[in-house]
Amino acid sequence: MNKPIALATAAILAALTSACASFSVTDDAIERNTAQALGLAKGTFTVTDRSNDGVKASYKVRTDSGKQYSCYVTGGVSITGRAVSDSICSELGKGGMSGKPATDGTCNALLKAAGKC
């Protein structure tokens, strides 16, 4: 194989394996992965405010019960097809531990080391 063809092949493979989220992450994949992450049935929530930044797609979710989440997935395309990560979601208005000690029996070695127990 000559050098120009090898370089072109490598460039095409690199482009395919680093495709941006706008191409690799479909709306259906977002809905399916979000339903699984939140334990909800498809169709019981609305996805809004999607923005794509490289391989990451960020979006907001509002459930039929009124809860709101901020979520994201990552995705790419390879020779075997599209790949989309699990959805990572945080309920809006519900921060992490926010410095409060764990008093509900969930204290573990990591929380103790962080001074949260």
Return the pLDDT at 9.
57
Rounded Cα distance between 98 and 117, Å, is 13
Q: How much is the pTM?
A: 0.65
**pLDDT tens, position by position, 43-65:** 999 999 999 988 899 999 999 99
Domain count, the chain: 1
Return the pLDDT at 101.
53
Q: Rounded to the nearest 5°, which phi and psi values hold at 41?
A: -80, 145
Q: Is residue 18 pLDDT above 50, yes or no?
A: no
What range defines the domain where residue 59 resides? Answer: 3-113
Per-residue pLDDT, averaged over 86-115, amounts to 71
| pLDDT confidence band for 7 (50 / 70 / 90) | low
* Cβ atoms 49, 42 nearer than 8 A: no
* Cβ atoms 79, 16 nearer than 8 A: yes
Return the pLDDT at 78.
78
CA 53 from centre of chain: 12
Q: Is residue 14 pLDDT above 70, yes or no?
A: no
| pLDDT confidence band for 17 (50 / 70 / 90) | very low
Q: How many CB atoms are located within 10 Å of the residue 7 CB?
A: 10
Per-residue pLDDT, averaged over 70-79, amounts to 89
